């Protein structure tokens, strides 16, 4: 998820574009770049890192330009990989948001025709494809070039010798900003709200040409009209896509994140090369916080589907008590790729001769440089400190890894992969229960302590649910395996301590229902998370959070999204500072 901008009008394009990019940095901030038409040439600036102070930068005078702020997916964050990318003659410049899945084969074909590539990105092929087709009409060349692309793309293209911008939308967002005598093209409305609140949301297949006196849109080669809408939001609201907090926005991005991560690893087969697991006798996960809980779920999946023994270590403990590691595969899970404890655990594991894999969300992060093998999640930038969509993306990678390592017959793997493919739809259905979950949150928001219980895969789900509740609502929530309650935590039960119970329809269902009855007998308010067609549970609890039916192995995703919403609405009811909770940081870069 990157941010792209194009401008044509009467203002200095460099200043308009750099300030607009700054408004889009929540979409990616590892590098940025701008191109401005100056006479019959292009002036380009590219930098690594966030923009910082816009006044620090200026290019040559020009009123036509394009810009990009990057969230790297192909090619690490660097100046050479930053956008805009150009053709061999630096006459055509392109900015792109999305993924070109067939870029490798296109690149080889273009290189065999003499094109010189300078970056590692998927995007650069677009500039060279347009160069191949260009005969003086930029729009025609773009329309021919995009026929060769596979994947998702929102692109804006300019040519040093023409007074126009050409833009294309396919599976990535793109919006035209309609000003008075000036026009903008961008990934998202926050970029244009300083200048106009009149926008056009382009649809898939739209090709737009913008020039000094206006713009035209085509779809399927035919000219089309699109409605001009007025955006009612402030810029801050717009960055959150109209949601009150980034956390809620990111929970709602979960279905798309699952689709993007599945897209990365699934074609006819699961595209994970597991040669790193050759000859191993065990797997050890190292991680912190939410990533540690994902590791616990990884353990459940891998042991269940492969029989390989798995241990899960807190990275901060692993550093000082590294276990013996001969034929050990160490998997380090980290959203940011910069968590100090996890990085140190990876280094120590390598020193002890272990092979190290990392499951990470940030391209070019330190973890990707330490690991022997990298598996990326495709959650995009996560702004809210509380990890939500990134956790789900970690689970999707763990499901695919466990299935790839599994000894199951192909038909069974296929069946499970098919169930994974419908996960985005099932999560959309969990989100439909948002109002009910908000009402239940209102009922528990005044308590200062609560207990989460589960069994089997329900235990790490409960631990993650309790962590979300703790870190954003400041309620002291603890999670326990339900069978552990009798050995102490039972003493905490009563009217002051509500219990959140995860009722998963697997072999633990009956005994879990029993545990719920025991808890209820001690007068705790009980909220159960259960299947939407479970008619039994409501007899024994105060409230039920319903989730759509799925194979019990996949409940880690549906139940976790429901618990993220419960924590969010409880914290909101308590008036907490949700996106930046006290005492916490998005990435803990110190031990
Ligand atoms: C989760 O909501 C927290 N932000 C925190 O526990 C986090 O999971 C932990 O710091 C690990 O971060 P990482 O995944 O970036 O390594």
> What whole-number distance in Å separates Cα of residue 466 and Cα of residue 469?
5
Chain Cα centroid distance, residue 560: 16
Q: For 458-493, how does the pLDDT look when each residue is reduced to its tens digit (9 = 90+)?
A: 999 999 999 999 999 999 999 999 999 999 999 999
- Is 586 a known active-site residue? yes
pLDDT of residue 296: 98
Local structure of 586: helix, strand or coil: coil
User: 413 is written with which tokens?
Assistant: 């793997």
Instruction: Decide whether any atom of ligand 1 lies within 6 Å of the 362 Cβ.
Output: no
User: 304 is written with which tokens?
Assistant: 């269940």
Query: Any idea what the Cα angle at residue 336 is, between residues 402 and 245, rounded to 5°?
Result: 105
H-type alpha helices, 55-211: 103-112, 124-133, 138-146
Cα torsion at 473, 476, 480, 483 (round to 10°)? -120
Over its length of 591 residues, how does the chain's per-residue pLDDT go in tens digits?
A: 789 999 999 999 999 999 999 988 888 878 999 999 999 999 999 999 888 777 777 788 899 999 999 888 778 889 999 999 999 999 999 999 988 989 999 999 999 999 999 999 999 999 999 999 999 999 999 999 999 999 889 999 999 999 999 999 998 899 999 999 999 999 988 899 889 999 999 999 999 999 999 999 999 999 999 999 998 777 777 778 889 999 999 999 999 999 989 988 988 889 899 999 999 999 999 999 999 999 999 999 999 999 999 999 999 999 999 887 888 999 999 999 999 999 999 999 999 999 999 999 988 899 999 999 999 999 988 989 999 999 999 999 999 999 999 988 999 999 999 999 999 999 999 999 999 999 999 999 999 999 999 999 999 999 999 999 999 999 999 999 999 999 999 999 999 999 999 999 999 999 999 999 999 999 999 999 999 999 999 999 999 999 999 999 999 999 999 999 999 999 999 999 999 999 898 988 888
Q: Which of 251, 291, 479 for a ligand 1 pocket mutation test, highest count of atoms within 8 Å of Cβ?
A: 291
> What whole-number distance in Å separates Cα of residue 338 and Cα of residue 50?
17
pLDDT of residue 176: 97
CA of 372 to the centre of ligand 1 (A): 22
> What whole-number distance in Å separates Cα of residue 10 and Cα of residue 363?
37
CA of 247 to the centre of ligand 1 (A): 14
pLDDT of residue 490: 96
Identify which of 474, 466, 450 has the alpha carbon closest to the alpha carbon of residue 542. Answer: 450
- Is 249 a known active-site residue? no
Show Cβ contacts of residue 268 under 8 Å, excluding neighbours closer than 6 positions.
none
> What whole-number distance in Å separates Cα of residue 465 and Cα of residue 472?
11
> What whole-number distance in Å separates Cα of residue 522 and Cα of residue 491?
9
- Between the two ends of the chain, the Cα-to-Cα distance in Å is 30
CA of 451 to the centre of ligand 1 (A): 21
Per DSSP, 329 falls in state E
Query: What HEC string does 286-302 produce?
Result: EECHHHHHHHHHHHHHH
* Nearest alpha carbon, ligand 1 atom 7: 289
Distances (CA, A) of 559 to 299, 502, 566: 18, 8, 11
Instruction: Decide whether any atom of ligand 1 lies within 6 Å of the 471 Cβ.
Output: yes
pLDDT of residue 222: 94
CA of 393 to the centre of ligand 1 (A): 14
pLDDT of residue 263: 85
- Tell me how crowded residue 414 is: count the other CB atoms within 10 A of its CB: 13
> What whole-number distance in Å separates Cα of residue 396 and Cα of residue 262?
7
**Residue 396: CA atoms inside 13 Å, Cβ hemisphere, count?**
35
Local structure of 517: helix, strand or coil: helix
Instruction: Decide whether any atom of ligand 1 lies within 6 Å of the 417 Cβ.
Output: no
Q: Which of 285, 290, 379 for a ligand 1 pocket mutation test, highest count of atoms within 8 Å of Cβ?
A: 290
Q: For 566-591, how does the pLDDT look when each residue is reduced to its tens digit (9 = 90+)?
A: 999 999 999 999 999 998 989 888 88
| Residue 84 preceded by cis peptide, ω within 30 | yes
Catalytic residue among 76, 520, 573, 586: 586
Rounded to 5 degrees, φ, ψ at 65 are: -165, 165
- Tell me how crowded residue 284 is: count the other CB atoms within 10 A of its CB: 25
Instruction: Decide whether any atom of ligand 1 lies within 6 Å of the 581 Cβ.
Output: no
Residue with tokens 């590791």: 295
Tell me if 138 sits within 8 A of 160, measured CB to CB. no
User: 23 is written with which tokens?
Assistant: 């408004």
Instruction: Decide whether any atom of ligand 1 lies within 6 Å of the 588 Cβ.
Output: yes
Instruction: Decide whether any atom of ligand 1 lies within 6 Å of the 377 Cβ.
Output: no
CA of 586 to the centre of ligand 1 (A): 7
Tell me if 529 sits within 8 A of 548, measured CB to CB. no
Strand partners, 229: 199
Q: Which of 289, 344, 474, 580 for a ligand 1 pocket mutation test, highest count of atoms within 8 Å of Cβ?
A: 289
Ligand 1 atom nearest to 588, measured from its CA: 10
pLDDT of residue 29: 79
* Nearest alpha carbon, ligand 1 atom 9: 289
User: 534 is written with which tokens?
Assistant: 């479970």
pLDDT of residue 430: 98
Per DSSP, 84 falls in state P
Catalytic residue among 2, 288, 300, 576: 2
Chain Cα centroid distance, residue 97: 14
Instruction: Decide whether any atom of ligand 1 lies within 6 Å of the 290 Cβ.
Output: yes
Tell me if 265 sits within 8 A of 395, measured CB to CB. no
> What whole-number distance in Å separates Cα of residue 420 and Cα of residue 427?
11
**Residue 524: CA atoms inside 13 Å, Cβ hemisphere, count?**
27
pLDDT of residue 25: 86
Ligand 1 atom nearest to 342, measured from its CA: 16
Instruction: Decide whether any atom of ligand 1 lies within 6 Å of the 587 Cβ.
Output: yes
Chain Cα centroid distance, residue 328: 29
> What whole-number distance in Å separates Cα of residue 526 and Cα of residue 517?
10
């Amino acid at each position: 998820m990157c941010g792209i901008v194009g401008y044509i009008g009467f203002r200095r394009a460099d200043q308009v574009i750099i300030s607009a990019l700054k408004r889009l940095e929540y979409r990616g901030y590892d590098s940025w770049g701008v191109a401005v038409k100056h006479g019959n040439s292009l002036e380009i600036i590219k930098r690594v890192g966030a923009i910082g102070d816009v006044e620090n930068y200026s290019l040559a005078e020009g009123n036509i330009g394009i810009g990009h702020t990057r969230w790297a997916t192909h090619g690490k964050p660097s100046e050479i990989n930053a956008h805009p990318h150009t053709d061999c003659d630096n006459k055509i410049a392109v900015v792109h948001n999305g993924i070109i899945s067939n870029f490798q084969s296109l690149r080889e074909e273009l290189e065999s025709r003499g094109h010189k590539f300078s970056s590692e990105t998927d995007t650069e092929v677009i500039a060279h494809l347009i160069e191949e087709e260009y005969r003086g009409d930029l729009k025609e060349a773009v329309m021919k070039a995009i026929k060769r692309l596979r994947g998702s793309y929102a692109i804006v293209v300019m040519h040093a010798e023409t007074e126009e911008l050409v833009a294309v939308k396919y599976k990535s967002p793109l919006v035209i900003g309609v000003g008075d005598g000036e026009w903008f093209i961008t990934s998202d409305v926050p970029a244009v709200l300083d200048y106009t609140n009149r926008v056009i949301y382009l649809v898939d297949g739209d090709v737009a040409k913008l020039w000094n006196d206006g713009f035209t849109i085509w779809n399927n080669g035919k000219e089309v009209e699109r409605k001009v809408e007025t955006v009612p939001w402030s810029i801050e609201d717009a960055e959150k896509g109209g949601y009150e907090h980034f956390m809620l926005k990111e929970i709602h991005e979960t279905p798309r994140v699952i689709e993007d991560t599945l897209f990365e690893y699934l074609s006819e087969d699961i595209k994970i090369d597991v040669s790193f697991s050759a000859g191993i006798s065990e797997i050890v996960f190292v991680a912190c916080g939410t990533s540690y809980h994902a590791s616990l779920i990884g353990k459940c999946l891998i042991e269940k589907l492969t029989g390989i023994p798995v241990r899960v270590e807190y990275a901060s403990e692993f550093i000082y008590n590294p276990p013996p590691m001969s034929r050990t595969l160490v998997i380090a899970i980290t959203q940011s790729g910069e968590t100090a404890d996890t990085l140190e655990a990876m280094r120590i594991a390598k020193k002890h001769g272990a092979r190290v894999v990392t499951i990470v969300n940030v391209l070019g992060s330190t973890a990707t440089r330490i690991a022997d093998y990298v598996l990326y999640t495709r959650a995009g930038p996560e702004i809210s400190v509380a990890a939500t969509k990134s956790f789900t993306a970690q689970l999707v990678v763990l499901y695919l890894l466990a299935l790839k390592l599994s000894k199951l017959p192909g038909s069974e793997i296929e069946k499970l992969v098919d169930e994974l493919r419908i996960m985005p739809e099932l999560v959309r259905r969990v989100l439909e229960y948002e109002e009910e979950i908000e009402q239940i949150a209102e009922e528990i928001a005044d308590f200062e302590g609560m207990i989460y219980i589960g069994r089997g895969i329900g235990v790490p789900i409960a631990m993650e649910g309790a962590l979300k509740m703790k870190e954003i609502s400041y309620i002291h929530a603890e999670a326990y395996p339900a069978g552990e309650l009798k050995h102490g935590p039972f003493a905490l039960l009563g009217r002051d301590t509500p219990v959140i119970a995860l009722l998963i329809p697997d072999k633990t269902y009956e005994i879990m229902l029993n545990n719920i009855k025991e808890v209820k007998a001690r007068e705790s308010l009980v909220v159960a998370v259960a299947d939407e067609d479970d008619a039994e549970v409501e007899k024994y609890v105060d409230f039920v959070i319903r989730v759509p039916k799925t194979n019990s192995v996949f409940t880690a995703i549906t139940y976790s999204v429901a618990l993220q919403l419960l924590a969010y609405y409880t914290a909101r009811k308590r008036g907490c500072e949700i996106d930046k909770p006290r005492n916490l940081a998005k990435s803990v870069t110190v031990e």
